[in-house]
């Protein structure tokens, strides 16, 4: 049996949260419409963060420590593992292609590549806010065409040595003094709301 992809897990979680009636934390039963979007975003973020941390520690760091395979930026050409940030971005693209309306990605005020910078004023404000106070996400309702979306930016911390080595040593990196635990940017999550 194939191991479930992060996109599948997130899709199932998103479906369960929208279909099954409950209200987080209160113990009360309510309709699915009563689930606050921030709670849904928190659940999605928890899954993304857990998957990324486990991939980093149990796959990348373990394989490198045992000299089995390394993670590299050009992983396809070198038959290496994707960097943890690349794995998250690939998962986000996979989920977006499933047509659920759910999107997530990494972004930074100081990205190595411009495409990973903020794409809107909301993202720019959110990245600045989580840099200032990483303990809480920056969130709100945005409009895309006629559809409303809940959007949240969560602090993205340097969770491993591979994160800091990549950013501190990359020729295109703006900032070269990251330490473990530093906020490197944000995980941006959005999904449609009624």
- pLDDT at residue number 75: 60
45 within a domain of the structure (yes/no): yes
Q: Helix, strand, coil % (nearest 5) of the chain?
A: 45, 20, 35
The residue written with tokens 């420590």 in the block is 65
Residue 150, domain member (yes or no): yes
Which tens digit of pLDDT belongs to each residue from 92-118? 989 999 989 999 999 999 887 788 889
How many domains, in total, are found in the chain? 1
Q: Is residue 122 part of a domain?
A: yes
Residue 162, domain member (yes or no) = yes
Per-residue pLDDT, averaged over 43-58, amounts to: 86
Neighbours of 35 (CB within 10 A): 18
What average pLDDT is seen over the chain? 77
Domain span holding position 50: 6-193
Q: What percent of the chain has pLDDT over 90?
A: 36
Residue 73 lies in a domain: yes
For residue 1, is it within any domain? no
User: Over the stretch 1-47, which tens digit does the pLDDT of each residue have?
Assistant: 444 455 555 555 554 444 444 334 444 444 456 789 999 999 999 99
| Nearest C-alpha neighbor of 82 from the set 59, 103, 105 | 59
Residues shown for the chain: 194
pLDDT for 71 equals 61
Q: For the chain, how many helices (H) and strands (E)?
A: 7, 4
- Is residue 124 in a domain? yes
152-189: pLDDT as tens digits: 999 988 777 777 777 666 666 677 777 877 788 899 99
Ranked by mean pLDDT, which of 59-73, 128-142, 172-186 comes out on top?
A: 128-142
The answer to whether residue 23 is domain-embedded is yes
pTM: 0.74
């Amino acid at each position: 049996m194939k191991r479930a992809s992060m996109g599948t897990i997130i899709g199932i979680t998103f479906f369960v949260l929208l279909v099954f009636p409950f209200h987080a934390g209160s113990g009360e039963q309510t309709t699915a419409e009563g689930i606050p979007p921030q709670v849904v975003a928190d659940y999605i973020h928890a899954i993304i963060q857990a998957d990324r941390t486990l991939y980093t520690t149990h796959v990348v760091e373990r394989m490198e420590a045992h000299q089995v395979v390394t993670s590299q930026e050009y992983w396809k050409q070198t038959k290496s593992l994707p960097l943890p940030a690349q794995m998250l971005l690939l998962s986000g693209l996979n989920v977006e292609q499933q047509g659920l309306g759910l999107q997530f990605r990494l972004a930074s005020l100081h990205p190595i590549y411009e495409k990973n910078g903020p794409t809107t004023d909301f993202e720019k404000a959110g990245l600045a806010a989580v840099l200032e106070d990483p303990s809480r996400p920056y969130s709100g309702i945005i409009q895309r065409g006629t559809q409303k979306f809940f959007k949240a930016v969560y602090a993205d911390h340097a969770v491993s040595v591979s994160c800091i080595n990549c950013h501190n040593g990359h020729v295109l990196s703006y900032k070269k003094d990251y330490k473990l635990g530093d906020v490197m940017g944000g995980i941006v999550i959005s999904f449609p709301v009624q």
